[in-house]
Structures are given as structure tokens and as C-alpha cells.
Structure 1
Amino acid sequence: MTITFYTKNHCPLCDKAHKILEELQEEVSLEIRKIDIYQSEELIEKYGLMIPVITAEGEEIQYGQINKESLRKRLLTINK
């Protein structure tokens, strides 16, 4: 499964979320597609106040303060 991880530089919440995603890769087959929102005005407008944002199959599944356990459950549900 490919997930998209919207992030920006110098973002402690983003760093923490990325670490959680890397840990979950050991349990769930994930490809992490990392996108800096500052590549696009549209992304800044859409996600500027929400980042980090994790999407899968076009759906936002978590944003802001990422919770590892609920994210794991959500990813396992999507991956079925």
C-alpha cells in the first residue's frame, strides 16, 4: 500500500509522525510517499494548518498529532 505523507521542514510533529510510519512499515507493507507542502501554493492552502497529514487511497486518515495505535488499525483495515 502506498501512503502519502504531507510534511514540511522544521516540523517536530512531522518528524514524530515519520518515525511512527517507519515503525509501522515493519508490521504493514507500506510505501511512504513524502511530499513537502511548500512545493505548491495549493498544498500550503489545503494542509498548512493540518500537517502532518497522512492519506491512503485518496482519503485523509490522520493529521496533526499522529496516534500510532489508531493509525495501525486504520492501515490494517485499508490494507485488507
Structure 2
Amino acid sequence: MTTPRVTFYSRQGCHLCDDAREVVARVCADLGESFSEVDVDADPDLADRFGDEVPVTFVDGRQHDFWRVDETRLRAALITR
């Protein structure tokens, strides 16, 4: 099993997270990629680090977006290695 290229940091009850999750899931499915989702509120360090910026998306270990996920930008990041 390969490590997902996309990590999606979110929290429960976050409408921006719900919207961004749909974009991440769609793009990853279209491109044959996987993603992992992490609840920032389950880890005090992550909650401190990301605070009000959730959702936060990382691609290949580097921060890619926060608050909203731009579908075109995410596709480009996953196509380009």
C-alpha cells in the first residue's frame, strides 16, 4: 500500500471542510490518488498549529491550500511530480 499524496486536515462541524473534502475526494478519485484525513481537534498540537485555517491540504508533505481547495490547482499539483 502506498502512502497517500494528499493529507486533508479538518474538524467536525466545519462547512468549509465539508466543501473541501468533496473537491479533494473528487480530484483524487479522478486521478487514481488517495488521501488521508486528520481531525485537528484530536491532537492539541495540530489544533494549535492549524487553528482557524482548517481545512488545510498538504500535497506530498507540503502545505498546498487552506480554507478552500482550488480544484484546478490541486489537479495540477497531483499531475506534476
TM range (shorter): 0.7 to 0.9
1:8-23 matches, within 5 Å, as: 8-23=11-26
Which structure 2 segments of 5+ residues have no match?
none
Query: In structure 2, what residue type is equivalent to 1:33?
Result: S
Pairwise CA distance, 1:31: 1.3
Percent identity among equivalent residues?
Answer: 23
Partner residue in 2 for 1:5: 8
Unaligned runs of 5+ in 1: none
Deviates more, 1:31-40 or 1:69-78: 69-78
TM-score by length of structure 2 reads 0.86
The answer on 1:62 being equivalent to 2:69 is: no
Which runs of at least 4 in structure 1 moved beyond 6 Å after TM superposition? Answer: none
The residue that corresponds to 1:74 in the other structure is 77
TM-superposition CA deviations, 1:17-74 (whole Å, max 9, x none): 1100111123212211110001111000111121101112210111112111111111
Relative to the length of structure 1, the TM-score reads 0.86
**Secondary structure at 1:26 match in 2:** helix
Residue in structure 1 matched with residue 28 of structure 2 by the alignment: 25
Higher helix share: 2
